[in-house]
Structure 1
Amino acid sequence: MKNTPVTIKDIARSLNISISTVSRALRGMPEIHPDTRQAVTKLAEELDYQPNQLAKNLAKSRTRTIGVIVPNLSYYFFSAMLNSIEESALQAGYSVLVCQTNESYLREITNIQNLMRSQVEGFIISLSRDTDNYEHVERLARKNIPLVLIDRYAETIDASKVIVDNKLAAFKATEHLIENGCRRIGFLAGPTQLLLSNQRVAGYREALANHGLGVGDQYVVHCDYTQENTIMQTLTLMSLPQPPDGVVMISDRVAYPAMYAMSQKGLRIPQDVAVVSFNNEPVSAFFSPALSSVSQPIQEMGTEAVRLLLKQLDSTSDTPVPKETKIMDTQLIVRASSFRSPAH
């Protein structure tokens, strides 16, 4: 059965006081005795009471609006994904409200609160870079509020997900560098708390192990996605006593400033260091040298996220819709930045 949202009436009944007293206590009105206010606040917290409960709003009316939260729309990956989300939602008769976290955990919490006040009927969320506590999203899942996580997710959140096999994709990208003659391969990763990045590092390490190539931990460096930090970490990596002759990048957005830093250091790509990345942004084909990159089905991921959300929104059953995880295929697009003779 669907969880029934806790109401002021439930709290009043449990404490044997009036609904108006509970309401005033929750608003901190001075005429309420401190002991009563404390008892109300304590029980409200224990019962996970939410004053603007989304399910309560939906009982009154349908807004046919979906809330979408992404790290940043300046990222090609998320702007392209949003196009397909909006198109799919529109075809189903829904509109979309979009919020950006700018990679901030606190802003992510605020975005959810604001969208709930706007009475969206469900959420599609890609977690921020800084998010390492998932209570605000887990609460949506516990309340059976329609929810789909896309691309960036957490394994502990019980929700439908649309993702790619990051470990396998990184394995193939690393193996491609090995097949093209690289023997000291580095990885320019994202923040340490980002699951997506850690999965790709795991795939990279597995590929090295499978080919009998052991490299030290110093060959894996982490950046925060900013250009300045990426350049600094790249220079750190390429200044090792035995610098890598190949590097896997966490994303194209990181690869561009990283390749710039390499060129400023006098390194030739791919002759001195081969590079492969993720996301296959359109500009990658026109970069010099053209960037090898893992292509993800961005449009299809957005469409699939809406499909999974609609299954929850349109359900008339009292039984929650089973959670689904859709793993999409990736493809390594090989270009000049990584292609060289194994005899190199």
Structure 2
Amino acid sequence: MKRHQITIVDIAQKLNLSKSTVSRVLTGHPSVSEKTRKAVLELADQLDYSRNMLSISLLNKKSNTIGIIVPEFISSYFPQVIMGAQEVAAQEGYNVIIGHSNETYETEVANTKLMLANQVDGLLISITKETRNFDHLKVFERKGIPIVFFNRVCEDMNVPKVVVDDYEGAFRAVEHLIKRKKKRIAHLAGPDTLSISVKRLRGYRDALKKYNIPIDEELIIPYDLTIAKVKIYVNHLLRLDNPPDAIFAINDPTAIEALQIVKKKGLQVPRDIAIVGFSNDNISGLIEPALTTVSQPVREMGNTAAQLLVDQINRDISEWKSIIRVLKTELIVRKSS
């Protein structure tokens, strides 16, 4: 025999309260007396009530849920952003649904459909390396569901964005290598579909120009962020007639893989070839030699993006469309350079 699912209506009838009052208690709304709150929560516990978010959303037109979609979990970067976002979400009374797009456009689209099906009140997203079409995200705009991009953003959508100063971070990283007397600095770059790749490449180029070091296109290798391919590209660089004496990588996973390959070749880091990454992943300070990298305020990015999203949900969206928050980076110098 199928067990009856306890609903808000059941609790409301037993306590002779309105459905909206019970809903406010169960969603943590402050405008309820302590006596009523205690009565509702005690009865809900006795009845083994499991909150049905769809029922609540039908009552108050809010699900008190936000979605977060990230492209990968290879590094510690996105888990830390999520933790930062969840801190703010919890403080503001929101649950979180997390989607992992696994760096594929199709999965990202499927994730957005799942978010819509769960009636999220807003969406935080960092796009995949494959994403060129944004129709699946423009659906949220048309429905009046706020979006905030973070880290990897869509420049064409006029919604809030939270990024770091990728250009400045890359410039300082390459400048650091130049000041270490490195002249042949290679760049393992990201795909040009990502704005972070474009900005970091520009920072790399401008640093070389500032110090009158010729830009050798042979030393610039854009790739699709598939770590298995790093071995191919690093070996290619090392086989050049005039190989690089330093590598600036698009991110820490790339830099760490490059460092391991260089060491297996019997070369000394940083004497023969210095290596610098970008993001300051948790493992970066634990490898040998420890990786010089550009640190990003990752937890702050999650905090900032979530707060912007909640502010949009609670206010007129049009007030927030042009906001771009740019967070500062910091060069962490370690033994790899």
**TM-score for the superposition, normalised by structure 2:** 0.80
- Work out the CA distance in 2 between the residues paired with 1:209 and 1:333: 23
**For residue 329 of structure 2, what is the aligned residue in structure 1?**
330
- Work out the CA distance in 2 between the residues paired with 1:223 and 1:267: 24
- Work out the CA distance in 2 between the residues paired with 1:121 and 1:278: 33
Contact 1:69 1:126 in 2 (8 A): yes
Unaligned runs of 5+ in 1: 1-56, 339-344
**For residue 218 of structure 1, what is the aligned residue in structure 2?**
218
Q: Deviations over 1:40-84 (max 9, x none)?
A: xxxxxxxxxxxxxxxxx7796211000000012342100111111
How far has the Cα of 1:235 moved from its partner? 1.1
**For residue 107 of structure 1, what is the aligned residue in structure 2?**
107
Q: Is 1:262 matched up with 2:248?
A: no
**For residue 193 of structure 2, what is the aligned residue in structure 1?**
193
- Work out the CA distance in 2 between the residues paired with 1:140 and 1:208: 42
Q: Percent of counterpart pairs with the same letter?
A: 36
- Work out the CA distance in 2 between the residues paired with 1:336 and 1:319: 48
- Work out the CA distance in 1 between the residues paired with 2:158 and 2:322: 7
Contact 2:161 2:325 in 1 (8 A): yes
Residues 152-163 of structure 1 mapped to structure 2, 5 A cutoff: 152-163=152-163
Q: Is 1:118 matched up with 2:118?
A: yes
- Work out the CA distance in 1 between the residues paired with 2:214 and 2:254: 25
- Aligned-pair Cα RMSD in Å: 1.8
How far has the Cα of 1:230 moved from its partner? 1.1
Contact 1:252 1:284 in 2 (8 A): yes
**For residue 166 of structure 1, what is the aligned residue in structure 2?**
166
Look up the SS of the partner of 1:132 in the other structure. coil
- Work out the CA distance in 2 between the residues paired with 1:326 and 1:139: 24
Contact 2:66 2:123 in 1 (8 A): yes
**TM-score for the superposition, normalised by structure 1:** 0.78
How far has the Cα of 1:318 moved from its partner? 7.9
Q: Deviations over 1:140-191 (max 9, x none)?
A: 2344321100000121111100101111110010000000100011101122
- Work out the CA distance in 2 between the residues paired with 1:179 and 1:115: 48
Contact 1:65 1:94 in 2 (8 A): yes
**For residue 297 of structure 1, what is the aligned residue in structure 2?**
297
Match for 2:280: what amino acid? N
How far has the Cα of 1:319 moved from its partner? 5.0
Q: Cα gap change, 1:74/1:216 in structure 2, threshold over 3 Å: closer, same or farther?
A: closer
**For residue 15 of structure 2, what is the aligned residue in structure 1?**
none
Look up the SS of the partner of 1:145 in the other structure. coil
Number of positions where the alignment pairs a residue of Structure 1 with one of Structure 2: 282
Unaligned runs of 5+ in 2: 1-56
Contact 1:69 1:99 in 2 (8 A): yes
